[in-house]
Amino acid sequence: MTSKLDDIIKQLKEHRSAFDDELNNAQRPEEVEGLRIKYLGRKGIITGYFSFLGQIPADEKPRLGKELNIVKGYLQSKIKERGDGQKGGKSSKDLFDATLPGIEPRLGRRHPLSLVLRDIKEIFKSLGFVVATGPELETDYYNFEALNLPKNHPARDLQDTLYIGENLVMRTHTSPVQVRTMEKQQPPIRMISPGRVFRRDTVDASHYPTFHQVEGLCVDQGVSFADLRGVISAFARKLLGEDVRIRFRPSYFPFTEPSAEYDISCTNCGAKGCRVCKGSGWLEISGAGMVNPAVFKHVGYDSEKYTGYAFGMGVDRIAMLRYQISDIRILYENDVRFLQQF
């Protein structure tokens, strides 16, 4: 005669094989979940058997408990297997394919302005110039006053900027570094100073309220305008090619006398006239001239003994010329589609 316990254990085995069949037939994840509820849910078949534990003699409990736990564990592991399978068939470890190309990290690149600046610095270094820097937040004295632009001078209007209080301005040009350099040392001086400058400008394709300049200064005995021309031409040829030409036009800056603006022949069209040079064949780079004795006076140089030339250049314009960029704004928008071309 079989005991009640043997009966129960037999039933459990039947349920277990029924479960196996049903799980084999189950296709979709919902069906597997349905089986879980049917057998192991709160009112599930196997769960129901746990209530027998209270109805059988105490000495039989451990045996039934053990059987129930084995069946429950079996069902759980089968359902879990199927669950994992549904999620991807195989574990990600099995899916690793060493022959697939790797994920290439995107490398950073230099900004076109940095590329041009690097070349400008190299060329001037090869001509015997050192590189100096100065602050972007500058005093009124260095940005204007010492450059012979006293308060209320009309030429200040061309270089309006942000005033941070009475005597501090966002520098409008790199020329203050001329003064800072001359204050620190005696001639001979051959220095360039690259950096960012700020002006009140209405934004358009060729104007932006911040841009970059490279300042140049040479002070020694017997320095002439011919030296200025020579250095600028040598520089332009090295940067843009041997057939590049330069031209000087008379102009005015309070800190140079005489003053000029200088242009480089358009390399985009071979100076024939195109969109980049707006049909003129020439690109304005910036100003230059012989250092005004009034500036020497501010730094205590003897203008009877020394002469010097100074020049500025717009880095953004040179970059635009070199890379045929027709809108300055793109240099400041951090658009990766543009930047990754360099």
Which positions touch ligand PHE (CB under 6 A)? 173, 175, 253, 256, 286-289, 310-312
Nearer CB in complex with ligand PHE: 79/285: 285
Nearer CB in complex with ligand PHE: 291/325: 291
Nearer CB in complex with ligand PHE: 266/288: 288
Nearer CB in complex with ligand PHE: 39/311: 311
Residue in the structure block whose two tokens are 């690109």: 283
| Beta carbon of residue 321, minimum distance to ligand PHE (angstroms, whole number) | 18
| Beta carbon of residue 98, minimum distance to ligand PHE (angstroms, whole number) | 59
Output the CA–CA distances (angstroms, integers) from residue 298 to 103, 142, 180, 216, in the order listed: 60, 10, 11, 18
Q: Cis (ω within 30 of 0) for the bond into 258? A: yes
| Beta carbon of residue 100, minimum distance to ligand PHE (angstroms, whole number) | 55
Nearer CB in complex with ligand PHE: 71/146: 146
**What is the phi/psi pair of residue 241, to 5°?**
125, 155
Of 59, 289, 301, 299, nearest to 179 by C-alpha is 299
Q: Report the C-alpha gap between 282 and 278 in whole angstroms.
A: 8
Output the CA–CA distances (angstroms, integers) from residue 300 to 185, 210, 304, 321, in the order listed: 11, 32, 12, 39
Alpha-carbon torsion, ordered 136, 140, 144, 145, to 10 deg: -140
| Beta carbon of residue 327, minimum distance to ligand PHE (angstroms, whole number) | 21
| Beta carbon of residue 302, minimum distance to ligand PHE (angstroms, whole number) | 21
Length of the chain: 342
